Amino acid sequence: IFNLQALEHVNARLLELYPDDEERFDIVLMTNNHAQVGVRLINSINHYGLTIERFCMTGGKSPIGYLTAYLTNLYLSADSEKVQEAIEAGIASATMFTANKDVAYSDTQLRVAFDGDAVLFSDESEQIVKEKGLDTFFEHEQLNENKPLAQGPLKGFLEDLGKLQKKFYAKNERLNCPIRTFLVTARSAASSGARVLKTLRSWGLEVDEALFLAGAPKGPILVKIRPHIFFDDQMFHIEGAQKLGTIAAHVPYGIAQKYHKSA
Q: What angle do CA 258, 260, 90 make, to 5 degrees?
A: 55
pLDDT in tens, the chain (263 residues): 556 889 999 999 999 999 999 899 999 988 887 888 778 888 888 887 777 888 888 888 888 888 988 899 999 999 999 999 999 999 999 999 988 878 888 999 999 999 999 999 999 888 888 888 888 988 888 899 999 999 999 999 999 999 999 999 999 999 999 999 999 999 999 888 999 999 999 999 999 999 999 989 999 999 999 999 999 999 999 999 999 999 999 999 987 777 555 43
**Which pLDDT score is estimated for 262?**
40
How far apart CA 189 and CA 84 sit, in angstroms, is 31
How far apart CA 193 and CA 149 sit, in angstroms, is 12
Does 115 qualify as catalytic in the annotation? yes
How far apart CA 220 and CA 142 sit, in angstroms, is 28
Query: Domain-by-domain residue ranges, the chain?
Result: 4-95, 110-257
**Which pLDDT score is estimated for 260?**
57
**Which pLDDT score is estimated for 218?**
95
Residues in the chain: 263
Q: Which runs of E-coded beta strand occur in the chain?
A: 28-31, 54-57, 75-77, 93-97, 110-114, 179-185, 209-212, 229-232, 248-250
**Which pLDDT score is estimated for 263?**
38
- Beta-carbon contacts of residue 224 (< 8 Å; ≥ 6 apart): none
Query: What separation in angstroms does the CA of 226 have from each of 9, 117, 219, 230?
Result: 17, 21, 10, 9
Of 20, 26, 115, 208, catalytic:
115
Architecture of the domain delimited by 110-257: 3-Layer(aba) Sandwich (3.40)
Does the pTM surpass 0.85? The reply is yes
